[in-house]
Structure 1
Amino acid sequence: MNSEVSVVILTYNESKHIKRCLERAFTVASSVYVVDSFSTDDTVEIARAMGGEVYQHRWPGNQAAQFNWALEHLPITTEWILRLDADEYLTDELQDEINAKLPLQPDEITGVSFKRRHIFMDKWVKRGTYPVTLLRLFRRGKAVCEQRWMDEHIHLLEGKSVTFEHDFVDHNLHNLAWWTTKHNGYATREAIELLDLEYQLIGRERDNGGLNEQASIKRSRKKQYSKQPLFWRSFAYFLYRYILKGGFLEGKEGFMWHFFQGWWYRTLVDSRVYEVKKACGNDPALIRDYIQRNYQIELSPKKSLVEV
């Protein structure tokens, strides 16, 4: 256990995952804070029984706003903060690496990135997308979460980041029906992100400073992706992952992962974008109004993310 680290976990109905997550979190942290959005299962009871400090806060509509609320309101006093999702956990090797290396980091290092290992249908899909490197550990007061509807990253306010050698794991235990329902919801938020890139619906700054190298590259590629023709781009992305990056070598689970997450989901996003453009043309004001009326999401120019 590292007395310099606190872990923050956002939850809603995570009884399948929270015990596994907390068990691993407590190996590197002196405190684990669970910010729960009024779960209706026994997530809160499990977290408290395991020693987690539970705070409840109404879901504001996106991960970024909820996590930044946690940074502002939790009584965190440790030097470092680690963000984890409830369906994620640290490998044994990463636990040891954090405990050994973190106390040795010089003052100019304010963030640490890890490689994410994705488990889909109980299989580690190694080819096609791995490794995705994410900044998840940072010095208190030196970072915030980007205000985005999807694909939000931890953003360093100052200092530099390093990347540790070992992985953390994203392994959701729900079935495929749950997974597709969840991504159907994600598609609306992803469509808003792509429309915002094209029409500046919110008018946010598009500076990638403070992101780790891979996140900055990914963000630049996303801007390029947003300029490609609808529907063709999702098919091309699937071919890139499944053929060029070797996803076809991962068996049936690999095919389903790359098909659903790389093509089906991206086509669903494009369908949302097409639907909005067909109804509104290229008028940003009409697009904002359409999104609010149909998805109950308010997009106010030059303001933070708001959901009504």
Structure 2
Amino acid sequence: MSSRLPILVAIPTKNEEENIAAALGSVMGHFEAVAVVDSDSTDDTRAIATKLGAEVVPYRWDGTYPKKKQWCLDQVRPEIPWVLFLDGDERLSPALLAELRDLFSRPVEAAAFDIPLGYWFGGKRLRHGYTIVKRALMDRNRAYFPVLGDLDAPGMGEQEGHYQPIADPVRRLRSPIEHEDLDPVRTWFDRHNRYSDWEAWLELHPAVREEIRLAKTRQGRLFHQAPFKPLVSFGYAYLYKLGFLDGRAGLDYALAMSFYRWQIGLKTREGRRTGRTG
């Protein structure tokens, strides 16, 4: 009897040479298959993945749906029903690996599982502040990423936006995926500048925004309706969720997320003032 979990680990990448070895080191040998789905990396991502024994699957977006994760569900090792998505700057915790072994030791009724993130910022593992949850494990036959009207939106490109795949029923696991990006902190701000372009575009296109709101977690839907989002974001993370107990890293992350919300609001107001909605 195989000791490997009956799951495909799919790792979408582009230029992840700083992080990919740690991601692969946490999963190789434990799962039926591990595939690095790479979008024309210009660094050593593919070479490192190949050396460590992962299957490297080239991907090039054609500008339409399906986007990258749904394409993985459709095309990458379709004979394996269960897929675990892991970002290039993430790794499985030993506790999560043990929880998955226990889960798959018997029939699995849920169609997908939400998994908490252990988030690192400024070189420190945050123990408080935001609670981030990803619907990262799913049965591809019972889950899908929705097709939305955001192809003209800037900021996200080939990757699905900040919404969850649709599945029912969904359960939550206890143990985390560790999200530790080893790239310089400027890359965090670069990404979130692009993400805020997408979020601002949604504010200017309410019909699409409503489609995406319905594909978010309950927490995401509640925050979606909150006024004064930069202040609410900071107060929630730093005060209500005790982010101050994480010291300087907790303050930096709460400020960074508040700044991200401020960017979205500023870009939205500019779009409304100038009439530029794309």
Q: 1:46 to 1:154 in 2, by over 3 A?
A: same
Secondary structure of the 1:172 match is coil
State the Cα distance separating 1:174 from its structure 2 match.
1.2
Residue number among 160, 163, 187 corresponding to 2:196 in the alignment: 187
Secondary structure of the 2:217 match is helix
| Residue correspondences, number | 265
Task: State the alpha-carbon separation in 2 of the partners of residues 239 and 205 from structure 1.
Answer: 25
Q: Does 1:143 align with 2:143?
A: yes
Q: Which amino acid aligns with 2:246?
A: E
Q: 1:28 to 1:152 in 2, by over 3 A?
A: farther
Question: Deviations along 1:70-120, whole A, 9 cap, x unmatched?
Answer: 2112233123111110101110111111122223134x3222222111011
Contact in 2 for aligned 1:81/1:140 (Cα 8 Å): yes
TM-score calculated relative to the size of structure 1? 0.78
Contact in 1 for aligned 2:28/2:54 (Cα 8 Å): no
Question: Deviations along 1:210-253, whole A, 9 cap, x unmatched?
Answer: xxxxx53123214313xx3xxx3312321222122211221111
The farther-off stretch of 117-126 and 147-156 is 147-156
Q: Which runs of 5+ in 1 are unaligned?
A: 209-214, 281-285, 292-308
Quote the residue 1:99 is aligned against: 101
Q: 1:38 to 1:141 in 2, by over 3 A?
A: same
Q: Which amino acid aligns with 1:74?
A: V
Quote the residue 2:166 is aligned against: 155
- The one of the two structures with greater contact order (alpha-carbon pairs below 8 A, sep at least 6) is 2
Task: State the alpha-carbon separation in 2 of the partners of residues 111 and 154 from structure 1.
Answer: 9
Q: Which runs of 5+ in 2 are unaligned?
A: 149-155
State the Cα RMSD in Å. Answer: 2.4
Q: How does 1:198-237 map to 2 (within 5 A)?
A: 199-201=206-208, 204=211, 207-208=214-215, 215-225=216-226, 228=227, 232-237=228-233
State the Cα distance separating 1:129 from its structure 2 match.
0.9
Q: Which amino acid aligns with 2:230?
A: S
Q: 1:122 to 1:60 in 2, by over 3 A?
A: farther
TM-score calculated relative to the size of structure 2? 0.86
Residue number among 173, 180, 187 corresponding to 1:164 in the alignment: 173
Question: Deviations along 1:109-165, whole A, 9 cap, x unmatched?
Answer: 2222221110112211121113x2322111231111244653121221xx4222222
